[in-house]
Amino acid sequence: MKITITEAGQHVGEEVTIGAWLANKRSSGKIAFLQLRDGTGFIQGVVVKSEVGEEVFQQAKSITQESSLYITGTVQEDNRSPFGYELSVSSIDIIAEAEDYPITPKEHGTEFLMDHRHLWLRSRRQHAVMKVRNEIIRATYEFFNDRGFVKVDPPILTGSAPEGTSELFHTRYFDEDAYLSQSGQLYMEAAAMALGKVFSFGPTFRAEKSKTRRHLIEFWMIEPEMAFYNFEDNLKVQEEYVSHVVQSVLANCRLELGRLDRDTSKLEQIKTPFPRITYDEAIEFLHKQGFDDIKWGDDFGAPHETAIAENYDKPVFITHYPTAIKPFYMQPDPNREEVVLCADLIAPEGYGEIIGGSERIHDRQLLEERIKEHKLDEEAYKWYAELRKYGSVPHSGFGLGLERTVAWISGVEHVRETIPFPRLLNRLYP
RNA sequence: UCCGCAGUAGCUCAGUGGUAGAGCAAUCGGCUGUUAACCGAUCGGUCGCAAGUUCGAAUCUUGCCUGCGGAGCCA
C-alpha cells in the first residue's frame, strides 16, 4: 500500500511503500539508517543486513543524498525517532540517482544557500518555515471567510503611482507607462463600497534599495477594507485577526515550531486585547529612554520601534501619527487635526512593523484638498475621489505584511527565508 | 545612496612577507541503534579581478567586482 510519511501512524505493523528522497544516511557494517523525506514529513528507514540480505543492504549503503526512491517496509513505533515512527525496510526501488548534491549536512553560508534556493527548500528548516507560512495563509482565509469578508483581487499592473513615497517598478503597457502595484488599497476601497467587507491577498512590489532583514523587493500583503468600520472597529479586527493566526499556527504547526526551536511560550501570550500607545506617548517614552535623535513630527526608525516593542510581550499599536508624515487618504482625528486616525502594529522581539492601517477620509471635499496638497495627478485619482461622490461612508482598512509575520511567528532572523523564492536587492536568481 | 565587515579546495574556515592547510563532502575500507554518526586512507587550489611595492605577496598599497550586516524608506 502506498502512503505518505504523515500517514505512517495509521499503518503501524503494516507493510507500506513510500515515495521519498534520501535526505541523509548513516551506516555501519550490518545496519543502515536512511533519513527519508517525502514533502509531507520526515521518517527514518532502518535497513538491517541480516533481515534484507547482502544485495539490498549494499544497495542501501550506496544510495546518494537526494536520490529519489520507492521504499517498502513495515511501519513501527519507536520513541528513538523524533517523529515517533520508523520504517523497517524490506526493499528499495531507486527512481533516479542524485549526483553530488551541493547542500551537505554541514554549515553553509548565506550566499551559497541563496544561490541554491531551489534545493535549500528541501531542508528541514525551510520545509518547516514554508509549512508555517501556509498555515498563516490558511488561517487568514478562514478568519475573513468566517466573518463574511469577500476576497477581492486588485490589479497588479497599475497606471498611476498611488503615492509618491515608495519607488515603483516601471514597465510598459503597450504604448502607456505602467507600474507594478505597491498596494491594492485604493482598489480595495472601491471593492468595499461594492461588497461591504473585503480582503485581498497578493504580491506587491517596491523598487527600494532596502538591504535589511525586514525587506523584500517582492512581498505578499493581506489588505482588508471594511465599509462602516471606524478607527476603533479597525483595531479590533486587526488584533482578533493576528491572534487568530498565531493561535492557529500553535495549534497546527507544533512539529514545525519545534524544528525551528521557536519559544512557543512567547506565542501563547498573543491574545486580544493588544496594548496601545499614541504617537505622543511613544515620543515621550523615547525621550525618557535617552533617544535625543527624534522629535515630534519625525517618523520612527527601526531602533525606535524596537525600543517601544520591547516593553510588551504582545504586538503593540502605535496610534495617532502626525498627519504630515502619513499618506493623503488618512482620516484626521476630529479633535486634533494635526494627527490622523491610524495605527501601526509593531511585532514583539524586534520583528518590526507588521501592520499599517487607518480610517480613510470619506469626505469628498477634504480628500480633494489632500490630493491637491500632495500634488498628486488629479486625473489619475479621479475614480478614487469619485467613491466619495456616490454614497460615501466611513470606512477603514489595513495591510499586513505576510513575510514579516511569518518571520516573527517562526522566529527566523531574516524575511528571505519566509518566501519560497525571495526577490532581494541584487538577487533575481533562482 | 551612506557606514562597517568579508572574498583561500565543491562547502565552512585557518593561514598577517619565506614550500598552500584543517574539518566536512566525494571515492575506497572498517563498524548492529546512528541522530551534522564515528574511525582509517585517497582525491581535491588561477588564494575574487587588475595593477603596484618587494629578492620574494594569500599576506602590504590602490582601484574595481561580488556578498554579508546595518542605516534611510517601508509591510
Contact in structure between A315 and A242 (CB atoms under 8 Å): yes
Per-residue pLDDT band at A242 (split at 50, 70, 90): very high
pLDDT tops 70 at residue A314: yes
Instruction: Tell me the C-alpha distance between A155 and A178, whole Å.
Output: 12
Q: Which nucleotide is nearest to A116 (CA to C1')?
A: B11
* Sign of the torsion formed by the C-alpha atoms of A204, A205, A209 and A213: positive
pLDDT tops 90 at residue A289: no
- Whether the beta carbon of A105 falls within 7 A of nucleic chain B: the reply is yes
Residue A335 lies in a domain: yes
- Whether the beta carbon of A299 falls within 7 A of nucleic chain B: the reply is yes
Mean pLDDT, residues A380-386: 91
Instruction: Tell me the C-alpha distance between A239 and A317, whole Å.
Output: 9
- Whether the beta carbon of A401 falls within 7 A of nucleic chain B: the reply is yes
- Whether the beta carbon of A166 falls within 7 A of nucleic chain B: the reply is yes
Give, in order, the Cα–Cα distances in Å from A344 to each of A142, A193, A368.
23, 24, 25
Residue A407 lies in a domain: yes
Give, in order, the Cα–Cα distances in Å from A147 to each of A34, A134, A142, A241, A373.
46, 20, 9, 11, 37
pLDDT tops 60 at residue A30: yes
Grid cell locating A217: 523587493
DSSP structural state of residue A255: H
Contact in structure between A202 and A154 (CB atoms under 8 Å): yes
Q: What are phi and psi of A347, to 5 degrees?
A: -75, 155
Question: How far is Cα of residue A348 from the mean position of the Cα atoms in its chain?
Answer: 15
Mean pLDDT, residues A42-65: 90
Give, in order, the Cα–Cα distances in Å from A329 to each of A25, A364, A381.
58, 11, 11
Q: Are A144 and A73 found together in one domain? A: no
Residue A428 lies in a domain: no
Per-residue pLDDT band at A17 (split at 50, 70, 90): very high
What CATH number corresponds to the domain at position A44? 2.40.50.140
- Whether the beta carbon of A324 falls within 7 A of nucleic chain B: the reply is no
Residue A426 lies in a domain: no
* Better-predicted residue by pLDDT, A62 or A187: A187
Residue A34 lies in a domain: yes
Q: Are A133 and A218 found together in one domain? A: yes
Q: Are A194 and A287 found together in one domain? A: yes
- Whether the beta carbon of A211 falls within 7 A of nucleic chain B: the reply is yes
Residue A65 lies in a domain: yes
Q: Are A73 and A130 found together in one domain? A: no
Q: Are A175 and A278 found together in one domain? A: yes
Mean pLDDT, residues A179-186: 90
Q: Which nucleotide is nearest to A51 (CA to C1')?
A: B32
Q: Which nucleotide is nearest to A401 (CA to C1')?
A: B75
Residue A199 lies in a domain: yes
A189-214 pLDDT, tens digit each:
999 999 999 999 999 998 888 888 89
* Better-predicted residue by pLDDT, A163 or A64: A64
- Whether the beta carbon of A79 falls within 7 A of nucleic chain B: the reply is no
Residue A425 lies in a domain: no
- Average confidence score pLDDT of chain A: 91
Q: Are A71 and A134 found together in one domain? A: no
- Whether the beta carbon of A109 falls within 7 A of nucleic chain B: the reply is yes
Per-residue pLDDT band at A79 (split at 50, 70, 90): confident
A82-140 pLDDT, tens digit each:
667 899 999 999 999 888 888 888 778 888 898 889 999 999 899 999 999 999 999 99
User: Of the candidates A40, A61, A96, which is a domain's last residue?
Assistant: A96
Q: Which range of residues forms the domain containing residue A308?
A: 117-417
pLDDT tops 60 at residue A164: no
Half-sphere exposure for A186 (CA within 13 Å, toward CB): 23
Per-residue pLDDT band at A72 (split at 50, 70, 90): very high
Contact in structure between A352 and A306 (CB atoms under 8 Å): yes
Nearest partner of A17 among A74, A55, A60, judged by Cα: A74
Give, in order, the Cα–Cα distances in Å from A304 to each of A94, A216, A324, A415.
56, 21, 19, 20
Beta bridge partners of A428: none
Q: Are A75 and A149 found together in one domain? A: no
Tell whether ipTM is more than 0.95. Answer: no
Chain B, protein-covered positions (CB within 7 A):
1-2, 10-13, 23-27, 30-38, 66-75
**Å separating the CA of residue A318 from the C1' of nucleotide B15:** 52
Q: Are A293 and A351 found together in one domain? A: yes
**Å separating the CA of residue A167 from the C1' of nucleotide B73:** 9
What CATH number corresponds to the domain at position A368? 3.30.930.10
Q: Going along A161-252, which residue ranges are E strands? A: 170-173, 176-180, 197-205, 218-227
Q: Which nucleotide is nearest to A113 (CA to C1')?
A: B11
Question: For chain A, how many structural domains are there in total?
Answer: 2
Q: Which nucleotide is nearest to A185 (CA to C1')?
A: B75
- pLDDT score of A160: 66
Q: Are A236 and A360 found together in one domain? A: yes
- pLDDT score of A376: 84
Grid cell locating A88: 523497517
* Better-predicted residue by pLDDT, A111 or A72: A72
- pLDDT score of A166: 58
Q: Which single residue has its CA nearest the C1' atom of nucleotide B33?
A: A31
Q: Are A153 and A67 found together in one domain? A: no
Percentage with pLDDT > 70 across chain A: 98
Whole-number CA gyration radius for chain A: 26
Q: Are A354 and A407 found together in one domain? A: yes
Q: Are A217 and A307 found together in one domain? A: yes
Mean pLDDT, residues A395-417: 94
Write down which residues 270-289 in A have CB closer than 7 A to strand B: none
